Structure 1
Amino acid sequence: MKSLAFFALSAIATAAFAVTPAAPNTINITGTSNQTASVNGTLLKNTANSMAYANQNTASNKGNVQISGTSNQTANLNGGAVTNDAVKGGDVAIQSLASNVGDVKVTGTSNQTANVNGANMSNTAVGNGCYGCDAGTAVAYQNAASNQGHVEITGTSNQNFSVTSPAAVSNKADGGDTLAVQNLASNYGDVKITGTSNQTASFSGHAVIANLARGWGAVAYQNVASNDSCEPPPVVCRGVYCGPLASAH
């Protein structure tokens, strides 16, 4: 079951000049790409049950995307909540806010901004119900103003993430083989930036920023305004290089 609820959500995605599919599973944007999403006092919800796999993208690029020009990605959460949940089965929950995940190339300046103001942003994978395998996986990836996978930026990269209380940002892999990776204004994986890289994360008031891996497999990575090349890698193959995410790489 997959549900999406939104009421006061406004999403704008524009590309100057042209947006054309160059090949299967590939998006080519020639010109400036502007992606803006605003969630104001409402609920944006994505849930996968049974065999699971929940993927939520907000002002983000996922898979094989090439942008020949400036890329502007902005997501503002003002009150309300943005949630993504994969409950058992094969699990895997991926939540992206103003981020690039997979095989993304930007030939130009990349601006990524995500603001959480008095809102809740959560990503959860509940394990011990793995489908078609002998391990109870529960993989959870959460990205905000971040790049994950194989991402190349030819130009300046600006990544800004802010949380203003009362607010909560949480990523959780619960049970089974587990793995929780939280990237906030960060680069994770094989990321190449030819130019200046600016990463800023700010938290104010009593905001809660949590990354939790609970269970026998555990493993939790939390990156805040950081670069992580994924070394050493997890013992079990996970993420954009295997399983349900392989097609995105």
Structure 2
Amino acid sequence: MNQRSILFDTETTGVDPDKGDRIIEIAAIELINDLPTENFYHVLVDPERDIPIEATRVHGIKIEDLKGKPKFKEIADDFLEFIQDDPLVAHNAPFDFKFVNAELSRVKRPAISLDRMIDTLKLARAKYPLSPNSLDALCRRFSIDLSARTTHNALLDCQLLSEVYIQLTGGRQRGLGFSNEDSEKTGKVYKKIHDHTPIFVKPTQQELEAHDKFIEEKMKNSLWNQKD
């Protein structure tokens, strides 16, 4: 049976919805059995407030870029219809969940349950506890092309994260790309992600030493410590 999930990302006016920060961009990609399909959702949102220059430096979006864009209350139902009741994958997912739920609360919609959350940052930290695990760092670890990522961008970040997620879960990507028509809908052009197979990642010397220390201290009677 095919398992559907949604990988998503947001861009915002700041870091705290409790202090009035709002969502300005949402992107989401449908996954079937953890592999991306060509079905995606992308929208720019009028935050009904200003965008601090510090935030613009991160994602490159100015308030002028959002003139005439829909408010969250106008896209809420479309977004909820796209994600349905499926699991939701995001990098540093608590951040995105908090913003989405704050926006849903404003328009009197039920909050999204945290039980649906799959946090790729948490997965990466468990797998590579001694290494940087930002999206950029993980892309470099897995040799994923970062040349298009000059600023944060929700749809491009989703594309990159979909490749990272494949590596973290040990799967195989069938390929993901958006047609010219899709690009025209979003107003931007994105590079196609080609077929990608799992990459063997050689552990660093620091990681090897940490592994040996863990085995020695925590698994004294394990097979790894038995001598020939």
The TM-score, its normalising length taken from structure 1, stands at 0.26
Structure with more contact order per residue of length (Cα contacts < 8 Å, sep ≥ 6):
2
Structure with the larger strand share: 1
Larger radius of gyration: 2
Structure with the larger helix share: 2
